[in-house]
């Protein structure tokens, strides 16, 4: 017989303000199996936990109900309390009086009635709870990092420096992501490439990092400690073992296409490295534009290659590896403003560019050699208009969120224009200036002193008049329309999750949020974890971020991975399915529904009712593979398969209790 102790938490006033905790505790004493109940200010606090432990000893309790916050918050905390108090941790049950009662109701009387019901259900379930024990499973001491921008590189380096093996997968031909595309970084104005390219080299040379550029993750199976991942290495058409990276092929290639790395502002060959400091510093062939691959003409690069590294027959390769942990670092893309901003010309005007194109242009190693030029005629712009929040904070049209980095990079761009073209006029149309960061607001103030004119208001229209752009907007501080004649317009477009990131999340097995950003497990307390154990988040894939925040988060994700990989064994979740062979008929319906292939039909030696030896087919659950979803339990006609911790009789007991 269970001797249940019920503990009602006030959570300060969070629960007590709306629920009469003493009354709930009193009511609990009348529930079947309950021998003790009490209410207390903070159950999760150290004294609160001591209180429970003392009650276990004094009252000889063998099951505990805590009625406090959501089990997603403190179930683990109290299970540990039980263990410390000498009870099996699974003899614990929780009633959610905060998130699902006191916080969502206002009528104290009705909320108290509901709270009593919730405790009653929890006590009923506790009455049926059983001791469960975990087994262990091995941890593969190797991490997978997906995406090799600054977030992925930092996470990979931090994990590798701690002595663990890392495989770093990047879908582009070079690692580095967006950071090396930038010219200078706010607020210190240090050269972006000077601090990011050494990191790229460090990644490539690190003995613990295996770099897979131009590759994608195609399939993920398994679970924390043991993810089996299939990776597709795209065809490079260049044997990187033979290639010396001399670059001769690039200079001889006769086909030129717009360079993605310069966002169409420059050109590249069809056998190419995205940029000079690319890592790996060896080219790949663009199969969509190479004349040899498209219509079997040319073949010049193979002829000029001194080491015979060009291989037009190259094909993609699939291979599989096993990892203990996965770090998602897939970064961001920019909102395709051309698709929705008719008022800015739908991309018809060549001199309306994005902030990232501005970065390439102002970058000394970019397509214009660092000279600011109008894309239309190559002239130096004397009047530059910046428009912030293009696609951000615009829920009616694009995204409701703030992209966080734009206020600062626009201030930096304004500063750079005034620095390079001292007689230029710079106008910034803004909604707010959000410069919350170390030395950020000071930077913005300095840009104002440089002479940038900040106009608070939105731009309603851009159109071309002769070679000039006319920018019409509103100065909402003066309350009147303004019109600016500009040579160049730079749009601070919204950050959006990188292309394909939603599909990748599904492949790995977790959910993005409504905007497509990767959802952290808890917005405050678990910011770098996903709800899927063993999968962590670094950088802008979780939400718009600037470089300092990205690097900080990558370090945090790495620390979590190192913590996981420092163990050689993980305790398994004992709340898995069990099949009772005595009543299993071997129909196999459970086998078909199991998403983890955790159930097998096995042959069991048995005797029939005449005592004759027979072999019966029965279902058998692999507890390492089973994740405890319970889909199988519903299929079982004989009720042979049940889920530990959520057994049929436990749930039915909760239902029954509500009307008892």
Partner 1 sequence: MALMTEANWEPKVLAFCCNWCSYSGADLVGLNRMKYPENVRIVRVPCSARVNPQFIIRAFQRGADGVLVAGCHPGDCHYSTGNYYTRRRFLVMKRLLEFIGIESQRFQARWISGAEAVKFRDTVTKLCEDIKALGPQRKLRDQK
Partner 2 sequence: MKYAYYPGCSLDATGIEYDIANKLVARTLGIELVEIPDWNCCGATSAHTTNHLLALALPARNLAIAEAHGFEQVAVPCAACFARCKKTAAAVQASPDLQVQISEVIGMTYAAKSEILSYLDVIGKKTGLDHIKKHVVQPLTGLKIAAYYGCLLVRPVDITQSDDPENPMVMDRLLQVIGAEPIAWDYKTECCGASQVVPVPQLGKKLIHDILKNAASYGADAIATACPLCMLNLDMRQKQINAMFGTQFHIPVFHFTELMALSFGYSAQDFGLAKHFESAESLLERMIGGKGA
Contact footprint for partner 2 (CB under 8 A)? 341-343, 346, 348, 461, 463-466, 470
Residues numbered 451-510 forming contacts with partner 1, rule: CB under 8 A: 506, 509-510
CB of 402 to partner 1, least distance (A): 18
Report the residue number, 35 or 470, with the smaller CB distance to partner 2. Answer: 470
- CA-to-CA distance for 133 and 601, rounded, in angstroms? 24
- CA-to-CA distance for 199 and 13, rounded, in angstroms? 50
Torsion of CA 13, 16, 17, 20, to 10 degrees: -170
Report the residue number, 18 or 493, with the smaller CB distance to partner 1. Answer: 18
Strands (E), 329-424: 332-334, 352-354, 383-390
260 contact choice in partner 2, partner 1, none (CB below 5 to 8 Å, kind-dependent): none
User: Bridge-partner residues for 614, per DSSP?
Assistant: 606
Report the residue number, 327 or 657, with the smaller CB distance to partner 1. Answer: 657
219 contact choice in partner 1, partner 2, none (CB below 5 to 8 Å, kind-dependent): none
CA atoms within 13 A on the CB side of 269: 18
CB of 590 to partner 1, least distance (A): 11
Residue among 531, 581, 586, 624 that touches partner 1 (CB under 8 A):
531
Residues numbered 428-447 forming contacts with partner 1, rule: CB under 8 A: none
103 contact choice in partner 1, partner 2, none (CB below 5 to 8 Å, kind-dependent): partner 1
CB of 428 to partner 2, least distance (A): 23
Q: How deeply is 239 buried, as exposed, middle or buried, from its count of CB atoms within 10 A (0-12, 13-18, 19+)?
A: middle
- CA-to-CA distance for 95 and 657, rounded, in angstroms? 13
346 contact choice in partner 2, partner 1, none (CB below 5 to 8 Å, kind-dependent): partner 2
Cα–Cα–Cα angle for 284, 273, 550, rounded to 5 degrees: 110
Q: How deeply is 483 buried, as exposed, middle or buried, from its count of CB atoms within 10 A (0-12, 13-18, 19+)?
A: exposed
643 binds partner 1 (CB under 8 A): yes
Report the residue number, 468 or 567, with the smaller CB distance to partner 2. Answer: 468
Residue among 216, 333, 359, 654 that touches partner 1 (CB under 8 A):
654
Residue linked to tokens 């219509």: 295
465 contact choice in partner 2, partner 1, none (CB below 5 to 8 Å, kind-dependent): partner 2
Q: Which two tokens stand for residue 233?
A: 């290495």
Q: Which two tokens stand for residue 624?
A: 């390492």
Cα–Cα–Cα angle for 400, 401, 404, rounded to 5 degrees: 150
Report the residue number, 342 or 369, with the smaller CB distance to partner 2. Answer: 342
Residue among 346, 419, 595, 603 that touches partner 1 (CB under 8 A):
595
- CA-to-CA distance for 579 and 576, rounded, in angstroms? 10
Report the residue number, 443 or 517, with the smaller CB distance to partner 1. Answer: 517
Report the residue number, 132 or 470, with the smaller CB distance to partner 2. Answer: 470
Site map for partner 1, 75-114, x if CB under 8 A?
A: ---------------------x-xxx-xxxxxx--xx-xx
Rounded to 5 degrees, what are φ and ψ at 15?
-100, -45
First CA to last CA across the chain, in angstroms? 19
Measuring CA to CA, how many Å separate 454 from each of 384, 393, 475, 485? 12, 18, 9, 15
288 contact choice in partner 2, partner 1, none (CB below 5 to 8 Å, kind-dependent): none
- CA-to-CA distance for 332 and 495, rounded, in angstroms? 6
- CA-to-CA distance for 526 and 535, rounded, in angstroms? 12
Burial call 48-76: b when 16+ CB within 10 Å, e when fewer: bbebbbebbeeeebbbbbbbbbebebbbe
How many residues in the shown chain lie near partner 1 by CB under 8 A?
50
652 contact choice in partner 2, partner 1, none (CB below 5 to 8 Å, kind-dependent): partner 1
464 contact choice in partner 2, partner 1, none (CB below 5 to 8 Å, kind-dependent): partner 2
CB of 541 to partner 2, least distance (A): 32
Q: Report, in angstroms and rounded to the nearest whole number, the Rg of the chain calculated over CA atoms.
A: 31
Measuring CA to CA, how many Å separate 77 from each of 49, 68, 74, 311, 474? 9, 12, 5, 58, 55
70 contact choice in partner 2, partner 1, none (CB below 5 to 8 Å, kind-dependent): partner 1
- CA-to-CA distance for 16 and 18, rounded, in angstroms? 5
Residues numbered 550-579 forming contacts with partner 1, rule: CB under 8 A: 575
CB of 397 to partner 2, least distance (A): 10
Residue among 29, 47, 72, 571 that touches partner 1 (CB under 8 A):
72
CB of 194 to partner 1, least distance (A): 40
Helix (H) or strand (E) holding 155: helix 150-161
575 contact choice in partner 2, partner 1, none (CB below 5 to 8 Å, kind-dependent): partner 1
348 contact choice in partner 2, partner 1, none (CB below 5 to 8 Å, kind-dependent): partner 2
CB of 564 to partner 1, least distance (A): 19
Residue among 76, 439, 478, 652 that touches partner 1 (CB under 8 A):
652
CB of 513 to partner 1, least distance (A): 5
- CA-to-CA distance for 292 and 271, rounded, in angstroms? 11
Report the residue number, 138 or 481, with the smaller CB distance to partner 2. Answer: 481
343 contact choice in partner 2, partner 1, none (CB below 5 to 8 Å, kind-dependent): partner 2
104 contact choice in partner 2, partner 1, none (CB below 5 to 8 Å, kind-dependent): partner 1
Report the residue number, 491 or 641, with the smaller CB distance to partner 2. Answer: 491
Report the residue number, 40 or 341, with the smaller CB distance to partner 2. Answer: 341
463 contact choice in partner 1, partner 2, none (CB below 5 to 8 Å, kind-dependent): partner 2
Provide the H-helix boundaries in 490-647: 501-508, 547-565, 589-593, 631-635
Rounded to 5 degrees, what are φ and ψ at 389?
55, 45
646 binds partner 1 (CB under 8 A): yes
Site map for partner 1, 355-374, x if CB under 8 A?
A: --------------------
467 contact choice in partner 1, partner 2, none (CB below 5 to 8 Å, kind-dependent): none
Burial call 619-647: b when 16+ CB within 10 Å, e when fewer: bbbebbbbebbbebbeebeeebbbbbbeb
Provide the H-helix boundaries in 162-209: 192-205
Measuring CA to CA, how many Å separate 209 from each of 153, 318, 329, 476, 482? 10, 19, 16, 53, 55
Residues numbered 613-642 forming contacts with partner 1, rule: CB under 8 A: 627-631, 633-634
Which residues of the chain form contacts with partner 1 (CB under 8 A)? Answer: 70-72, 96, 98-100, 102-107, 110-111, 113-114, 117-118, 121, 506, 509-511, 513-514, 519, 531-532, 575, 593, 595-596, 627-631, 633-634, 643, 646, 648, 651-652, 654-656, 658-659
């Amino acid at each position: 017989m269970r001797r249940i102790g019920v503990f009602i938490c006030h959570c300060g006033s969070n629960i007590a303000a709306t629920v009469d905790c003493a009354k709930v505790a009193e009511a609990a004493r009348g529930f079947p199996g309950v021998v003790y109940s009490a209410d207390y200010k903070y159950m999760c606090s150290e004294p609160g936990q001591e209180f429970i432990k003392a009650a276990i000893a004094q009252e000889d309790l063998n099951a505990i109900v805590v009625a406090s916050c959501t089990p997603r918050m403190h179930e683990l905390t109290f299970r540990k309390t039980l263990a410390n108090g000498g009870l099996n941790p699974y003899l614990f049950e929780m009633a959610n009086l905060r998130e699902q009662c006191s916080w969502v109701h206002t009528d104290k009387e009705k909320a108290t009635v509901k709270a009593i019901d919730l405790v009653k259900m929890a006590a009923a379930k506790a009455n049926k709870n059983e001791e469960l024990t975990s087994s262990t499973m091995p941890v593969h001491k190797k991490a997978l990092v997906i995406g090799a921008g600054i977030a992925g590189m930092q996470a990979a380096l931090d994990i590798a420096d701690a002595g663990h093996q890392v495989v770093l997968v990047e879908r582009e031909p070079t690692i580095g992501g967006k950071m090396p595309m930038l010219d200078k970084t706010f607020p210190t104005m240090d050269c972006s490439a000077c601090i990011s390219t050494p990191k790229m080299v460090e990644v490539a040379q690190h003995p613990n990092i295996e770099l897979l550029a131009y590759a994608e993750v195609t399939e993920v199976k398994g679970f924390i400690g043991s993810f089996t991942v299939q990776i597709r290495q795209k065809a490079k058409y260049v044997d990187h073992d033979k290639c010396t990276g001399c670059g001769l092929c690039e200079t001889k290639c006769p086909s030129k296409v717009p360079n993605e790395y310069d966002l169409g502002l420059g050109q590249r060959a069809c056998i190419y490295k995205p940029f000079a400091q690319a890592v790996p510093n060896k080219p790949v062939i663009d199969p969509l534009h190479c004349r040899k691959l498209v219509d079997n003409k040319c073949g010049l690069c193979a002829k000029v290659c001194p080491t015979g590294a060009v291989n037009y027959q190259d094909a993609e390769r699939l291979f599989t590896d096993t990892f203990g942990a996965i770090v998602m670092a897939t970064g961001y893309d920019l909102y395709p403003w051309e698709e929705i901003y008719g008022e800015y010309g739908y991309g018809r005007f060549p001199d309306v560019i994005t902030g990232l194109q501005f970065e390439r242009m102002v970058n000394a190693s970019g397509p214009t050699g660092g000279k600011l030029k109008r894309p239309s005629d190559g002239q130096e712009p004397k009047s530059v208009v910046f428009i912030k929040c293009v696609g951000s904070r615009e829920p009616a049209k694009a995204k409701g969120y703030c992209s966080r980095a734009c206020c600062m990079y626009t201030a930096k761009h304004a500063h750079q224009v005034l620095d390079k073209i001292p007689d230029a006029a710079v106008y910034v149309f803004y909604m707010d200036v959000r410069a919350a960061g170390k030395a950020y607001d000071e930077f913005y103030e300095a840009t104002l002193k440089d002479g940038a004119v900040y106009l608070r208001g939105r731009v309603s229209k851009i159109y071309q008049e002769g070679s000039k752009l006319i920018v019409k907007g509103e100065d909402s501080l003066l309350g009147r329309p303004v019109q600016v004649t500009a040579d160049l317009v730079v749009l601070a477009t919204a950050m959006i999750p990188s292309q394909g990131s939603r599909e990748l999340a599904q492949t790995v097995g977790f959910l993005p949020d409504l905007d497509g950003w990767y959802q952290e497990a808890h917005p405050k307390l678990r910011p770098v974890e996903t709800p899927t154990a063993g999968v962590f988040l670094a950088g802008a894939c979780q939400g718009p971020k600037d470089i300092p925040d990205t690097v900080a988060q990558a370090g945090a994700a790495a620390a979590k991975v190192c913590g996981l990989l420092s163990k050689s064994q993980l305790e398994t979740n004992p709340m898995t399915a069990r099949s009772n062979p005595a009543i299993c008929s071997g129909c196999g319906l459970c086998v078909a529904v199991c998403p983890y292939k955790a159930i097998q039909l096995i042959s069991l030696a048995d005797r029939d009712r005449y005592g004759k030896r027979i072999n019966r087919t029965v279902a058998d659950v692999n507890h390492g593979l089973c994740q405890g979803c319970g889909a199988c339990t519903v299929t079982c006609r004989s009720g042979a398969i049940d889920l530990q911790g959520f057994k049929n009789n436990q749930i039915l007991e909760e239902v029954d209790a509500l009307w008892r």
